């Protein structure tokens, strides 16, 4: 059986898994990027059955991997490849890292929620001015957190919120209950959902259904002064409407890890808006050691004919 790795982390992945692959009879080659100018290596890639890859590195060439049956993505999102024919048709099974990113992104969200509600940023500014000043703050236990996106990431955020005594609400297409989330609303009841939330957290993938989903109508229905966090995908929000909602005070604080276009334009007004905190799409980074663990487990399942972990649904886009 043949496999390949095409990833920025190819060297670390090789050192972590090559011995295991050899032990189960899988030949594997490792690349930082697709060797399109190397005929010999492209012939090899045309013969592989298993591929671990950064999706953005293979979009234009995956059609040449004629025998590929399973792609292990190094990302949580699959929007860059879900529209490709081999993926849509089900010819290639795609698995992702949603379980890993649930832990990482929930840490990001909880960290910023704590920093905002306990005034950590203001205290640091006072420290730089040698100012000793007590600031009032709000108790977490009194807050309702609304989760737009109730998959693995949203559920992990809810579990951490529970530890702080917070109430969690979810919003999804079905309204079906989700583990760890106190109450779930269907999408068509968003007005009821939004009016209850002190904090709104978005972890949606970018799909045709979620493209520019959250717009002025959504912001208008939120509580005045809400804390808004987007750690999912920037294209799920109409950015101009978001800027207006911040400027009007409807959104009291915004924590933004993702944007309509990345990197964020240096001329964007978001950079200099009060109570806006920007990070460069780092809420959930890929850790090679975790990636190796998940891939190893899935290889064991694959070679024994069992169901893989984190199988995606290309028709839904996640």
- Give the pLDDT of residue 189: 97
- Give the pLDDT of residue 178: 93
Domain range summary for the chain, segments of one domain joined by +: 2-97+286-303, 101-278
Is residue 262 annotated as part of the catalytic site, yes or no?
yes
From the list 281, 290, 300, 306, the catalytic residue is 281
- Give the pLDDT of residue 149: 94
Q: Which among 163, 160, 158, 310 has a CA at the least distance from the CA of 172?
A: 158
- Give the pLDDT of residue 98: 81
Sheet of 93-95, strand order: 27-31, 2-6, 50-53, 70-73, 93-95
- CA dist 165 and 183 (Å) reads 15
List of long-range contacts for 21-24, beta carbons under 8 Å, 24+ apart:
21/299, 24/299, 24/300, 24/303
Domains 2-97+286-303 and 101-278 share a fold: yes
- CA dist 117 and 98 (Å) reads 28
- Give the pLDDT of residue 142: 86
Cα R_g (the chain), whole angstroms: 22
Q: Which among 318, 250, 297, 304 has a CA at the least distance from the CA of 16?
A: 297
DSSP string, the chain: -EEEEESTTHHHHHHHHHHHHHHTT-EEEEESS--TT-HHHHHHHTT-SEEEE-GGGTTTTGGG-TT--EEEESSS--TTTTTSHHHHTTSSEEE--HHHHHHHHHHHHHHHHHHHHTTHHHHHHHHHTT---------GGG-EEEEE--SHHHHHHHHHHHHTT-EEEEEESS----TT-SEEEEGGGHHHHHTT-SEEEE-----TTTTT-B-HHHHHTSPTTEEEEE-S-GGGB-HHHHHHHHHHTSEEEEEES--SSSSPPTT-GGGG-TTEEE--S-TT---HHHHHHHHHHHHHHHHTTPPPTTB--TTTT-
Q: Which positions ≥6 away from 126 have C-beta within 8 Å?
A: 132, 133
First to last CA, the chain: 28
- CA dist 138 and 66 (Å) reads 57
From the list 11, 262, 300, 306, the catalytic residue is 262
- Give the pLDDT of residue 315: 85
Q: What is the CATH number of domain 2-97+286-303?
A: 3.40.50.720
Low-confidence spans in the chain with pLDDT less than 70 = none
- CA dist 203 and 213 (Å) reads 12
The fold of the 101-278 domain, in CATH, is Rossmann fold (3.40.50)
- CA dist 227 and 31 (Å) reads 42
From the list 57, 117, 206, 233, the catalytic residue is 233
Token pair, residue 215, equals 């717009």
- Give the pLDDT of residue 318: 87
pLDDT digit string, tens, across residues 72-105: 999 988 999 999 999 999 999 999 988 789 999 9
Q: Which positions ≥6 away from 247 have C-beta within 8 Å?
A: 273
């Amino acid at each position: 059986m043949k496999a390949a790795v095409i990833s920025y982390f190819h060297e670390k992945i090789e050192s972590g898994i090559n011995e295991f692959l050899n032990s189960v009879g899988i030949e594997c080659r490792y690349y930082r990027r697709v060797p399109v100018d190397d005929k010999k290596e492209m012939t090899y890639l045309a013969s592989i059955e298993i591929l671990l890859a950064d999706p953005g590195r293979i979009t234009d060439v995956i059609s040449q991997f004629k025998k590929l049956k399973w792609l292990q993505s190094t990302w949580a999102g699959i929007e860059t490849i879900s529209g490709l024919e081999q993926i849509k048709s089900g010819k290639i099974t795609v698995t992702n890292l949603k379980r890993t990113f649930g832990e990482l992104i929930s840490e990001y969200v909880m960290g910023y929620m704590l920093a905002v509600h306990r005034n950590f940023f203001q205290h640091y500014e006072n420290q730089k001015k040698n100012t000793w000043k007590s600031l009032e703050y709000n108790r977490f236990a009194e807050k309702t957190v609304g989760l737009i996106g109730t998959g693995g990431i949203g559920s992990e955020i809810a579990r951490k919120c529970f530890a702080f005594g917070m109430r969690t609400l979810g919003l999804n297409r079905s309204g079906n209950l989700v583990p760890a989330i106190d109450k779930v609303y269907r999408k068509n009841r968003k007005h009821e959902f939004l009016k209850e939330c002190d904090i709104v957290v978005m972890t949606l993938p970018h799909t045709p259904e979620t493209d520019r989903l959250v717009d002025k109508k959504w912001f208008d229905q939120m509580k005045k002064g809400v804390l808004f966090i987007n750690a999912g995908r920037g294209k799920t929000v109409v950015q101009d409407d978001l800027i207006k909602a911040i400027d009007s005070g409807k959104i009291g604080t915004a924590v933004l890890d993702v944007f309509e276009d990345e990197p964020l334009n240096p001329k964007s007004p978001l950079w200099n808006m009060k109570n806006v905190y920007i990070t460069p799409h780092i809420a959930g980074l890929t850790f090679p050691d975790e990636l190796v663990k998940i891939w190893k487990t899935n290889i064991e399942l694959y070679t024994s004919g069992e169901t893989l972990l984190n199988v995606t649904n290309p028709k839904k886009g996640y």
